[in-house]
Homo-oligomer: A and B are copies of this chain.
Amino acid sequence: MLKNDLLLRAAKGQEVERAPVWLMRQAGRILPEYRATRAKAKNFVEFVKTPELAAEVTIQPVDILGVDAAIIFSDILVIPEAMGLPYEMIEAKGPRFPETIQTQADINKLKIAEASDLDYVMKALQLTKKNLDNRVPLIGFCGAPWTLFAYMIEGSGSKTFSKAKQFLYTHPDLSHQLLEKITQSSINYLKGQVASGADLLQIFDSWAGVLSEKMYYEFSLSYISKICDALSPLVPVTVFAKDAHYAVKKISETSCHSIGLDWTIDPLKARKEAGNKTLQGNADPCLLYASEKAIIEETHNMLRSFGKDKYICNLGHGLYPDLDKEKVKLFVDVVKEFKW
């Protein structure tokens, strides 16, 4: 049994003594310990594929920062790769797909991934679970189908994802075919993650914000909803749709348990829209550049706005690489020590 199950209780809307806290991108980026482990692999993709290394960096923030959950170290792009579309990670630039999806034939060639195609993630989860020794819950994750689709068409990151959006506008039928294949792969993948020890799942829709509201519901949320339906009977599921400010109510109508918010969303407004779903977020990552006084004050304000129950404290996006570890730890401590 978990020694600290605050996250699971908060996600399910059960009573808690205090709000749990974890940080997106806590595994990696800011910790010197991470960079030391990272140096053992020849490149990012190999790093992700080595269960011992992935498990090691997954546990580091639990030891060093004292967060209330571990999130498995991996990448959302393992799914396209398992479907037959490999990616590279270009240092300081981001992901790149040497081949992209452009035609019906390209989509036909993609396989629906099974959990066994992502055995290295399953092994990393199992090893992490064992080494965590039930101290805190282990979070599994995947990218939302739209976000994966965006990379698979565009071939890399983009400010506008105009090629991926052009594909939605010009090939709506093909788009739905591809999104469906990604969705089925993601469901298989997440079921495997739960079988391998994930206690909670998060779906990251990093590029939600480039779509209009209408297109978001048609091409993104409908597929997220399918994933929630398949997984939420097993473990709590969090949906984080960055910059989809209009979608809180619609996300709350899926079978997810909690809704991640970026820092442009007002907590009180989100509470009204989210019904009885738990909320997660939403400090500006840049707050952690500020003075200790400002960090404490703003974090207290945020905690008061969200309230103790049905709340998971986090940032509104991932940690930035140049943040000071001590400031990040301060944020975690402030949440843990807050007098509710």
Residues on A close to B: CB < 8 A? 157, 159-160, 162, 165-166, 168-170, 209, 211-213, 215, 243-246, 263-266, 284-287, 289-291, 294, 317, 320, 322
Q: Which residue of B lies closest to A167 (CB)?
A: B289
Known A159-B159, A209-B243: A286·B320 in contact at CB below 8 Å: no
A26–B195 CA distance with the chains assembled, in angstroms: 54
The residue from B165, B286, B317 contacting A169, defined by CB atoms under 8 A apart: B286
What's the number of copies of this chain in the assembled complex? 2
Give the residues in chain B near A289, CB-CB below 8 Å: 162, 165-166, 169-170
Query: Which residue of chain B has the shortest Cβ distance to A166 in the bound complex?
Result: B289
* A165:B286 contact, CB within 8 angstroms: yes
A305 nearest CB across to chain B (Å): 11
Interface contact B294-A169, CB-CB below 8 Å: yes
Chain B: CB-nearest residue to A165: B286
21 contacting pairs across A/B (C-beta < 8 A): A160-B286, A160-B320, A162-B286, A162-B289, A162-B320, A162-B322, A165-B289, A166-B289, A169-B286, A169-B287, A169-B289, A169-B294, A211-B264, A212-B263, A213-B264, A215-B284, A243-B264, A245-B245, A245-B264, A246-B265, A246-B266
Specify the chain B residue showing the minimal Cβ separation from A294. B169
Q: How far is the CA of A144 from the CA of B263 in the complex (A)?
A: 21
Tell me whether B245 and A285 are in contact (CB under 8 A). no
User: Is the pair B212, A290 in contact by a Cβ cutoff of 8 Å?
Assistant: no
> Is the CB–CB distance between A266 and B162 below 8 Å?
no
In angstroms, Cα B266 to Cα A244, docked, is 12
